[in-house]
Structure 1
């Protein structure tokens, strides 16, 4: 064998020996299982109140279609479009001169007839004396008395005409019956207004207080009525679906007298003071109100619940810090927590953050929140079935 060939063979044997020894060395080295860092919390048990959530529509407390009761020319407008007007504030003035003339005519007619009555009474009194002396015929005397009665009736008609003229004159000034916000101005100064016109001069919406109308399933009606009788009639409006920021608080004040047979829903209304005017007619709002009490409910944070092809599940951590996938049936959402109807017991530890890296059997690292450490389930009937051992 040549020297070069010997060197090549020796090199190959050395490399093969090195690879084999490294392979045996790695085979004897234990594999360290990777642990993922997660955030966890222990499921709690406590009494809570089921909230019914739905969407409502804001409606004005009153809607006034302002119309004229008399014909005439629009002389002035006492507000701007969209402005808040006060109760009894003058909104429109229709030219009052025609009605003032009618009033003056009625007053003049009354004065004329009162003068005629006074004269007729004097004639009747003289005729009475002559009648006693048999100088006036009975028929003539009765005619004079009838004339007095006719003039008296005419005076009553004059007084009614004056009242009517005053009423027509008052109609020339149109005031707001409520405090509210005006809409579009449909007539301008100089327009001829007709009492029989179907179009309103303006529409006023009263928004303090204000209504929110909504519908609920008929199956919840009994619980709602029971809550109203026990004073649990408070209803909240939220700015978002998370029910974290309360926009307004009011009370249920109306339950419709019939259920909609086509939908199985019943209409309710809640009244809100709306002093800050945050609610506006036509808005859609998220509402929530108490429905029924849930005793000893198991609750976990909303972000602990995952959704998969088989439904809802959570990652439960065992005493070896390994996760298991647990199918659960979630119920009512109460603020940032969800009631678990089935699949989880109080005190079990669930993952709230870091689920992306987890599968069944994955090992995790975590620190329980301070208020979740050393938790024990109490046996006695206590609203809070978890206590913290310090």
Structure 2
């Protein structure tokens, strides 16, 4: 085959390819113009129930530092970390030998002052009798009365010293002031402990009821107060709904609580105010130091609702595919003000009566015609 014949054959093949290529888009265009059948529903309004979350720290209703009231060496530890103890139970013992000796000395001094008081009383009585027979002067009697009064005061002072020594001796047995769980020990056997120590021996916490402390900003707190009737904060708190507590693993505590107190002033450093909610904790599943979130319920009426499953997220924005008057897909950005169950509360982007695609829009392109299929109710 010569060069001219080859060129003619190549040109013929190229023309055939061009014809085929030009005819294919026409077929594709015909295919794409066919509407896609997708479920479509109409935007509705309704009542919404949601919770506002506030990060909270949890403390036992009673948290007591256990500290020594006398100085000495730690002789005995009678409980273990984490034990539940009763009020009055002995937790620690301090070496009590020195305090026992102080008590003995005080009791001996008391006996001596009592003996001296008896002698001064005898002397006073004798001088009073002698005064009647004019054998002593009135001045001597008054002097005897003064000595007796001083001896009587000495007895009272010695008695107070005995009581003080008893108190110090009894302080060697460190007892639980309340029921609760024992925290971590900061001192071990043989440690020299004193009331001036920076750290307490341990912390005793009663967690059958717990407090959850959380904060609100100034605007939030003003809005919070405006929701409930009452002239005082106490009256307003009485009208607040029960609140829930979500613990760190995302589960809800099995008891609801009530907001029962508000701090007296806003923090100058954070601009927030602290509120307190009280929860029953009969199974002691919550402990002091736990963290969580207090959930305050809120109810809204006649708000625009759309299923969460009917939305797509692109970066930090939410979108819904709606239909225009020609039933073509339109990707609409929406603003969300909250979540109620499996629905979003839409504050901007959709109106009641707008049509939106319920499902099947994952690969849908804007402008694609859609054949409406009634969504399942």
TM-score normalised to the size of structure 1?
0.76
- Rounded Cα–Cα distance in structure 1 between residues aligned with 2:117 and 2:271: 73
Query: Do the aligned partners of 2:358 and 2:375 also contact (CA within 8 Å) in 1?
Result: no
Query: Do the aligned partners of 1:36 and 1:357 also contact (CA within 8 Å) in 2?
Result: no
How far does residue 265 in structure 1 lie from its aligned partner after superposition? Answer: 2.7
Which residue of structure 2 aligns with residue 302 of structure 1?
308
Query: Do the aligned partners of 1:215 and 1:267 also contact (CA within 8 Å) in 2?
Result: yes
Which residue of structure 2 aligns with residue 118 of structure 1?
118
Query: Do the aligned partners of 2:38 and 2:359 also contact (CA within 8 Å) in 1?
Result: no
- Rounded Cα–Cα distance in structure 1 between residues aligned with 2:284 and 2:316: 46
Question: Deviation per CA, 1:167-224, whole angstroms, max 9, x where unpaired?
Answer: 1122111112233333322222333333333232223344332222222221121232
- Gapped regions of structure 1 (runs ≥ 5): 1-11, 371-390
- Gapped regions of structure 2 (runs ≥ 5): 1-11, 229-235
- The 5 Å alignment of 1:60-139 reads 60-139=60-139
- The 5 Å alignment of 1:2-41 reads 31=31, 33=34, 35=36
Question: Deviation per CA, 1:243-262, whole angstroms, max 9, x where unpaired?
Answer: 8x523532223322333345
Which residue of structure 1 aligns with residue 376 of structure 2?
369
How far does residue 70 in structure 1 lie from its aligned partner after superposition? Answer: 0.9
1:289 aligns with 2:296: yes
Question: Deviation per CA, 1:78-115, whole angstroms, max 9, x where unpaired?
Answer: 21123333333211111233323322332333233223
Which residue of structure 1 aligns with residue 278 of structure 2?
271
How far does residue 309 in structure 1 lie from its aligned partner after superposition? Answer: 7.5
TM-score normalised to the size of structure 2?
0.78
More deviation in 67-76 or 104-113?
104-113
Which residue of structure 1 aligns with residue 182 of structure 2?
182
Q: 2:257 aligns with which of 250, 261, 278?
A: 250
- Rounded Cα–Cα distance in structure 2 between residues aligned with 1:337 and 1:147: 93
Aligned length: 346
Query: Do the aligned partners of 1:54 and 1:286 also contact (CA within 8 Å) in 2?
Result: yes
